[in-house]
Amino acid sequence: MIEALEILTTASLWAAVLRIATPLIFGALGALICERSGVLNLGIEGIMTLGAMIAWLAAYQGADLWVALAAAAAAGACFGLLHAVLTVPLGLSQHVSGLGITLFASSFTYYVYRLVVVVGDAPPTIEPFRPLAIPGLSDLPFVGPVVFAQTAPTYAALAAAGLCAWILARTPLGLAVRMAGENPHAVEAQGLNPLSIRTGAVVVGSALMALGGAFLTTAAFNSFFPQMVQGRGWICIALVVFAGWRPGKALLGALLFAFFDAYQLRLQHVVEGLPYQLFLMAPYLLSIVALIAVARRGRAPEALMAPYRRGER
Amino acid sequence: MRLERRPQPSLTMTVAAPFAAVLASLVLCAGLIALAGVNPLDAYAEMLRGAFGSRLSITETLARATPLILTGLAATVAFRARLWNIGGEGQFYVGALAAAWLGSEALAGLPPALGILGVMIAGMIAGALLLLVPAFLRVRFGVDEVVTTLLTNFIVMLFVGMMVEGPLKDPLAFGWPQSVPVANELMLPKLVERTRLHIGLLIALATAGLVWLMLARTVFGARARAAGLSAGAAEFAGVPLARTLLGVAVISGALAGLAGAIEVAGVKGYVTTDLSPGYGYSGIVVAMLAGLQPLGVAVAAVFVAVVFVGADAMSRALGAPTFIADVIVAVSLLTMLVALLFATYRVRK
């Protein structure tokens, strides 16, 4: 019991929280941008898988890690564009199209991976991002190793959350995105095109999702293996609902979730006699509990999942 | 160019849609096959040979189609009522686990016919209970069932791992993590000796007929379809929405659970964590390719089975990764969506 509490005082736990939260922050922000514009993007799980593999593949072929991240984002944007074309101008079911994108993106990912790495070979490794200690700040007691000795993409994720919140809340662009998700007819009345706004939002959101996947192969681990995303995409979709479609709360939700995940991983070694699977179940159960807790309270964008067709009500 | 709603959905387009979708998918995936240095036409010919070339391969394809018919029906029933059950994979596994658990000892003393029935009912109850939770959360608290059913799949996979390494582990399996086996006399009889094809295929086909009857000819079916077409209008017309959705959940979950029970009692005999190559997820594609028509599900399931069995053979012969099967199936889901659009809309300049 005491041991279980002592974990809470270790800097390594809290550093792990930020590390585990990073892909969730990227993914949840991506899903949030899509949904604020009115498009549910269930392609997230597949797009994260794709991003993870593309980033690894680019780095494995000798690209700089930042170039690898850009390649992953571009690949994610392509699949996002496909989802956008199917759901925005064509107005197809966002549920089915999104699931189709997930199935397509993940099977495409595994197919390409198998072209490069044959069955039976150990997953080839790359040189991942090293922790980037911020001079001065990283020497602070406790806070230093926790916050200021992370890898560069983690800082980028935190910055992206702030940027996303600012753009959505304070800029004309953000207003247009929110309006497309609340009342696309009003966007049309303003002389803007709700279809292009939604398409743009889905493309940008999908690129962010792919970055979340890319973090897994370029910073959290150093290789790609099938099933490595493990439902993180679906957890991001749950986080967006939990956050009431607000970027700041999505960041907090991701951190809270990552805390439980990091804690259960450490608890496994302390608590004896329980199957390890019970601990691994905790994050998924927690997501469902979180959804029940906020049910009925969260207000989804008014026109979420409602396709917009000119001249049709 | 813009889309204009047709006054009446086009029947020709509706019927042609799945064929156009599959053709488009095969054309699109040809590029990926070429990327592996394999001639796409050779690959497709090899896939057909692999799925239909011999008596053995035909039985293998039909054995693969059996669970797909049932998971396809599970998705069909749910999607018709707009209950987004994406948890077919989890329901498949709990059904399989329940079948192995009860079929190994508890039901083993019964006369075989009764015992087999018991095994299948066990799978159906397990699957139904698993889907009832998200369905209840949806009708009671308004929790979106897409995310909860998806997350449940991961919980179930861990649970299956826990069971086959723990309480349900087969002590005679040389330490391999696999469940206790279904008793020999409760295994489903084979349709063709020395193959994997078992009477589960007939059960699945009969179930498709029953589901069609249920949706097309019963009050409950009409209510379920009404709930899917417009929940608001259905409620206004006096359809008890919550009760209907819970009923749909019971049926849909039971169908996916039955798929798991039949796969265990028909083919493998025991549960491992790789029992299903994504039958639950592929069931969604099967249902969509069938245009959510129960009788079409059988045809669509055979198509998906052909792709999977054929791709295995093609990969052995020509070397392109077997994952091409998953790509072809996923892309046909997307092309089917587009093809169906042109049944209700037409393009105007």
A25 CB within 8 Å of a chain B CB:
no
State the residue range of the domain holding A273: 2-118+134-294
A143 has a pLDDT exceeding 70: yes
Measured over the CA atoms of residue B67, residue B68, residue B71 and residue B76, the dihedral's sign is negative
For the record, the structure tokens of A159 come out as 């910055």
Mutate to test the interface with A, among B80, B94, B158, B315 (most CBs of A within 10 A): B158
In this prediction, residue B53 has a pLDDT band, given cuts at 50, 70 and 90, of very high
> Closest partner residue to B86 among A99, A278, A284, by Cβ?
A99
pLDDT of amino acid A156:
96
Report the alpha-carbon distance of residue A242 to residue A281 in Å, rounded: 19
Question: Nearest-CA residue of chain B relative to A104?
Answer: B330
A123 assigned to some structural domain: no
A138 assigned to some structural domain: yes
Per-residue pLDDT reduced to its tens digit, A69-87: 999 999 999 999 999 999 9
Average pLDDT over residues B130-137: 97
Structural domains of chain A, count: 1
A299 assigned to some structural domain: no
User: Which residues of A are less than 8 Å from B144 in CB distance?
Assistant: 241, 291
Tell me, what's the ipTM? 0.94
Whole-number percent of chain B with pLDDT over 90: 84
A8 CB within 8 Å of a chain B CB:
no
In this prediction, residue A3 has a pLDDT band, given cuts at 50, 70 and 90, of confident
A125 assigned to some structural domain: no
A238 CB within 8 Å of a chain B CB:
yes
Mutate to test the interface with A, among B3, B143, B230, B279 (most CBs of A within 10 A): B143
pLDDT of amino acid B63:
96
Contact A104 B334 (CB under 8 A): yes
Contact A111 B148 (CB under 8 A): no
Residue B201's H or E segment, with its range, is helix B200-217
Question: Nearest-CA residue of chain A relative to B160?
Answer: A277
In this prediction, residue B14 has a pLDDT band, given cuts at 50, 70 and 90, of confident
Average pLDDT over residues A49-60: 97
pLDDT of amino acid A313:
56
Higher pLDDT, B63 or B175: B63
Contact A103 B165 (CB under 8 A): no
A180 assigned to some structural domain: yes
Average pLDDT over residues B93-114: 93
Helices (H) and strands (E) in chain B, counts: 13, 2
Report the alpha-carbon distance of residue A101 to residue A203 in Å, rounded: 13
Question: Nearest-CA residue of chain B relative to A291?
Answer: B143
Hey, where are the domains in chain B?
Answer: 69-282
Report the alpha-carbon distance of residue A264 to residue B273 in Å, rounded: 23
CA distances from A293 to A221, A242, A287, A298 (A): 33, 8, 10, 10
Q: What is the CATH classification number for the domain harbouring A89?
A: 1.10.3470
Å between B168 CA and nearest CA of chain A: 13
Contact B150 A93 (CB under 8 A): no
Per-residue pLDDT reduced to its tens digit, A183-223: 999 999 999 999 999 999 999 999 999 999 999 999 999 99
A187 assigned to some structural domain: yes
pLDDT of amino acid A195:
95
B149 has a pLDDT exceeding 90: yes
- Helix (H/G/I), strand (E/B), else coil: B346: strand
* A 52-91: CB under 8 A from B: 82, 86, 90-91
Per-residue pLDDT reduced to its tens digit, B262-275: 999 999 999 999 99
Higher pLDDT, B313 or B1: B313
pLDDT of amino acid B109:
84
Report the alpha-carbon distance of residue A184 to residue B265 in Å, rounded: 53
Per-residue pLDDT reduced to its tens digit, B198-219: 999 999 999 999 999 999 999 9
Report the alpha-carbon distance of residue B67 to residue B54 in Å, rounded: 22
Report the alpha-carbon distance of residue A154 to residue A134 in Å, rounded: 13
CA distances from B65 to B51, B79, B230, B306 (A): 11, 20, 32, 8
For the record, the structure tokens of A137 come out as 């700040």
Å between B148 CA and nearest CA of chain A: 6
Mutate to test the interface with A, among B86, B334, B338, B348 (most CBs of A within 10 A): B334
Per-residue pLDDT reduced to its tens digit, B291-341: 999 999 999 999 999 999 999 999 999 999 999 999 999 999 999 999 999
- Average predicted confidence (pLDDT) for chain A: 92
Of A135-139, A200-204, B249-253, B313-317, the poorest mean pLDDT is in: A135-139
A40 assigned to some structural domain: yes
Contact B89, B279 (CB under 8 A): yes
Per-residue pLDDT reduced to its tens digit, B150-169: 999 999 999 999 999 989 99
pLDDT of amino acid A269:
83
Closest alpha carbon to B131 in B233, B238, B252, B32: B252
**Residue B229 CB coordination number (10 Å):** 12
